Amino acid sequence: MTDPVPRPAPQADRDSVPFWEGVEAGELRVQQCDACGRLRWPPREICGRCRSTASTWRALSGAGRIDSWIVAHQVFHPAFADSVPYTVLQVAVDEQPDIQMIGLYEGEGEPAFGMAVRAVFVRGSNGAMLVHWTPSPG
Amino acid sequence: MAAMQGFRDRVAIAGIGYTEFSKNSKVSTLTLATRAIAAAVADAGLEMDDVDGLATHRVGDSALPATVVHALGLRDPKWLLDLFGGGSASHSVVGQAALAIAAGVADTVVCYRAINARSEFRMGGTGRPLVDAAETQYQAPYGYMAPPQQFAMMARAHMEKYGTTAEQLGAVAVTQRGHAAMNERAMMRHPITLDDYLASRWIVEPFRLFDCCLETDVAVALVLTSAERARDLQRPSVLIRGIAWGGGFTLYSSDRPDSTRSAAADLAPRLFEQAGVGPRDIDVAELYDCFTYSVLVQLEDYGFCKKGEGGPFFESGATALGGSIPVNTHGGFLSEGYAHGLNHIAEAVSQLRGSAADRQVEGAEIALSTSQPGYIAGNTSALILRRAP
């Protein structure tokens, strides 16, 4: 299906280029603080726990759990006019559940709180690679 | 005595002014602003030339103070504030104006918010770039870009964790509509039932149409001056008893412990301590109600009921006129209209003046009014007001 107008593509800022390069490569990359080990996302220079500015990009497993979800009916952007209703998840990643990511749900049944999901990488009609989430048994 | 306690009761809200609440004002935000300001100054019994400060908040959608000051012909303003922010900033503007007056920087400051939020710049709507580009990149590509979606996400988590029901969300919509029926300013005054609520169309599950506030063209203005000066003016004085600012959560927080908890839970103890009162002393509460759920989470996080019990508490009738803590007596954003927060403060002032007519909370002496509780904007603010003794 083609969208009536292109969907908004991710517009990387000067902090987030490595994240989106990771998504393009099929990896969910976040920063890990070199000093205290805390993971952080979205990207930025400083660790909010120990204030170190040294960090290393690390690939997550892509496993997470559903923290919440919505089913969009109202069209807020014309690119999604032919896609409603669609389900958007807020996913807490397994490695550090206070990192929560937004993404589309790729599944058959109703989402549920705490349901295990994994990241899948989907190229949209606008050419941008995005992170969707699909149920992950076990 | 802590510094903020020394600030208690030193500044008054001496005048309130409104334009009509409508879906199409047919005038500019500058005109809305000057109309509401003129109404508020007249309500206070002051002259326009008494005004020496202006303050507003905007998200790139309204006339800025430097423009309004010239439109009104105000010479040599002593203090202007143009704060970036939406519903989390409304009470912050008033608090900062009060600090400016208490510090002696200005004598009489008008706080205003003027928006054509239906006919020109719809919140989170299409037709203009979203303002927070940094965060948008992680959301908009997935069709997640509008406040109803973001608050629905939080509401769903609360429903899952605490068993909050659609009927409890509906009780907020139905009760506030009942209040609006007694408010001649309100845009939506015909009563609705719980069945009407449940039958209304989905906007974004779990929110139906009646969970969402009204997109509104309106301006509201408040005149602030020293408590000492306000005593000599024509209206009963309403004093700023406490003001607090707080943080909040965004996707950037990366440390949100729980989607069911708002930043009001952190702010509330500080606010009550400053004011020297507790939740049980509040006679009337005008709580930020961009969506029904926002009311429930604030009832919990401001301590009116236990965490997780906002739904049953609201359903009990405690928050209706005649209940133990009437909430959103004007109908709120859901039914009076969406002035982004200042209409909540103006309603609290009317209640404390005893001028709220059919919807008057008898003997109201202390009111709480709140802004967006730091759920999606990363900051929040709230006020406690009292009738002057």
Element (H, E) at B312: helix B310-315
Tell me the residue ranges of DSSP E strands in B210-331: 217-226, 238-246, 284-286
**pLDDT the model gives residue B130:** 52
Q: Is the pLDDT of residue B128 over 70?
A: no
Cβ contact B204–A102 (<8 Å)? no
User: pLDDT digits over B44-82, tens only?
Assistant: 999 999 999 999 999 889 999 999 999 999 999 999 999
Nearest to B143 among A9, A86, A128 (CB): A86
Check if the beta carbon of residue A61 is closer than 8 Å to that of residue A50: no
Residue type, B369: S
Cβ contact B143–A77 (<8 Å)? yes
**pLDDT higher at A2 or B87:** B87
**pLDDT averaged over every residue in chain B:** 94
Where do we find the tokens 């989907």? Answer: A122
Overall average pLDDT of the B25-44 stretch: 98
Which residues, in sequence order, are CB contacts of A14 under 8 Å at separation 6+?
A: none
- Topology (CATH) of A61-138: OB fold (Dihydrolipoamide Acetyltransferase, E2P) (2.40.50)
Q: State the pLDDT confidence band at B123, using cuts at 50, 70 and 90.
A: confident
ipTM entry: 0.96
A127 touches B: beta carbon within 8 Å:
no
- CA-nearest residue of chain A to B152? A70
Overall average pLDDT of the B238-249 stretch: 95
Is B288 marked active-site? yes
Q: Is the pLDDT of residue B3 over 60?
A: no
In chain B, % of residues over pLDDT 70: 96
**pLDDT the model gives residue B1:** 43
Chain B positions touching A124 (Cβ under 8 A) are 141
In chain A, % of residues over pLDDT 70: 96
What does each C-alpha distance from B210 to B70, B188, B199, B203, B290 come to in angstroms? 40, 11, 10, 9, 11
**pLDDT averaged over every residue in chain A:** 94
Q: Is the pLDDT of residue A39 over 50?
A: yes
Compute the nearest-CA separation of B73 from chain A (Å). Answer: 40
Give the DSSP letter of residue B279: G
Overall average pLDDT of the B248-277 stretch: 90
Cβ contact B148–A90 (<8 Å)? no
Which residues, in sequence order, are CB contacts of B199 under 8 Å at separation 6+?
A: none
Note which residues in 76-105 of chain A have CB less than 8 A from chain B: 76-80, 83, 85-86, 88, 90, 98-104
- CA-nearest residue of chain A to B124? A76
Hey, CA dihedral for B317, B321, B327, B332, is it positive or negative?
Answer: positive
- CA-nearest residue of chain B to A98? B255
Compute the nearest-CA separation of B38 from chain A (Å). Answer: 36
Q: State the pLDDT confidence band at B127, using cuts at 50, 70 and 90.
A: very low
**pLDDT the model gives residue B92:** 97
User: Where do the domains of chain B lie, and which CATH numbers do they carry?
Assistant: 5-122+213-387 (3.40.47.10)
Q: Where are the domains of chain A?
A: 13-59, 61-138
Q: Is the pLDDT of residue B244 over 70?
A: yes
Q: State the pLDDT confidence band at B5, using cuts at 50, 70 and 90.
A: low
Cβ contact B154–A70 (<8 Å)? no
Cβ contact A98–B256 (<8 Å)? yes
Cβ contact B153–A101 (<8 Å)? no
- CA-nearest residue of chain B to A82? B143
Residue type, B354: G
User: pLDDT digits over B299-340, tens only?
Assistant: 999 999 999 999 999 999 999 999 999 999 999 999 999 999
Q: Which of B288, B293, B302, B375 is catalytic?
A: B288
Chain A positions touching B125 (Cβ under 8 A) are 76
User: pLDDT digits over A13-34, tens only?
Assistant: 999 999 999 999 999 999 999 9
Say how far apart CA B226 and CA B97 lie, in whole Å. Answer: 11
Paired tokens of A123: 């190229």
Cβ contact B157–A85 (<8 Å)? no
Is B302 marked active-site? no
Compute the nearest-CA separation of B264 from chain A (Å). Answer: 19
φ, ψ dihedrals at B85, nearest 5°: 155, 160
